[in-house]
Amino acid sequence: MELRQLQYFVKVARKQHVTQAAEELHVAQSAVSRQIRLLEEELGVNLFVQKGRNLHLTSVGRLFLSRIERIMTDLEKAVSEIHEFLDPEAGEIRVGFPHSVVLHLLPTVVAAFRKFHPNVKFKLRQGTYNSLIRDVSKGDIDLAFISPFPENHEYVTGDLLLTEELYAIVPQHHILSEYQTIRLEQLKDESFVMFGEEYSLRTIVMEACLKAGFTPHVGFEAEETDTIRGLVAAGMGVSLLPEMALAEGGSLRPIKVRISEPRVTRTVGLIHRTGERLPPVAEVFRRFLLEYVHSR
């Protein structure tokens, strides 16, 4: 069994098409087909089944892929660690983040880090709470900003960075826009602009509203804080957003109002895979980030 065969197998499994896999691998289609056939002969099983123009994994193929992907990830990390050992200032850090963190914290800290480590590269990946947990657990990324911070998790661990207050946001001419503080129940008759159900901020807002004694009416759903701010500013409803997501604003700016009862907060943390040492350059960044956040 050769490394090349495994690489071809993973690529075909992901693309479900030999021709497309060959194009990305920059090799002839016949070469890919031959290596897959040799791999199947050595294993004594069929890894793929033809369905129309696509190749689909058999049940054995899916099992084999799950194991091989872990091996390939570990191999890539081993090679990367060797390169970083030889020149830690030329390494790459793979960082995941939710959209509400990228607006302010991530660009600021990366810019500050690059002043001291100008040759370090960053590979960034945006995701939801569950996708970031999955990507860290699988080793697809080294570190991930995440909210809320998972206190006890089987596959990831990390550091709590901060606890952040959520504010109510309302249109500029809303009756509550002149208030310094409000109780959350004062929004019970409003239409809310919410994140989709896969986003952790939606859960935080829903739980806070239930604690205040009402179930919010969701008039609009969105995937980014910019969209939510714009819809609220345009008079489409109200919402709750963390202070970090309100640091910047476009031409449409809602009014933010502090919530006195109940106090609504979220935690933001930095996670990595449990029981595994970070690549040297990622560990340098982690320590820099903790010192940066805690000094402010």
Mean pLDDT over 93-97 rounds to: 94
- The CA distance from 114 to 120, in Å, is 7
Give the pLDDT confidence of 4-51 residue by residue, as tens digits: 888 889 999 888 888 888 888 889 989 989 999 999 999 999 999 888
Pairing between strand 191-195 and 121-126? Answer: unpaired
Percent pLDDT > 90 in the chain is 55
Q: What are the residues whose beta carbons fall under 8 Å from the beta carbon of 204, sequence distance 6 or more?
A: 148, 166, 240, 264, 266
Question: Does domain 88-161+268-294 sit in CATH 1.50.10.10?
Answer: no
Pick the more confident residue, 106 or 77: 106
Class of domain 163-267: alpha beta
Pick the more confident residue, 266 or 152: 266
CATH, domain range 3-82: 1.10.10.10
Residue 86's pLDDT is 54
Q: What are the residues whose beta carbons fall under 8 Å from the beta carbon of 158, sequence distance 6 or more?
A: 143, 146, 149, 269, 270, 271, 272
DSSP summary character for residue 213: T
Same topology, domains 88-161+268-294 and 163-267? Answer is yes
For all residues of the chain together, what is the average pLDDT? 89
CA separation, residue 262 to residues 8, 57, 100, 173, 185 (Å): 55, 51, 22, 24, 9
DSSP summary character for residue 177: T
Taking the CA of residue 9 as centre, how many other CA atoms within 13 Å lie in the half-sphere pointing to its CB? 30
Q: Is the whole-model pTM more than 0.75?
A: no
Give the pLDDT confidence of 121-131 residue by residue, as tens digits: 899 999 999 99
Residue 295's pLDDT is 86
Least Cα distance to 68 among 19, 54, 60 occurs for 60
List the chain domain ranges: 3-82, 88-161+268-294, 163-267
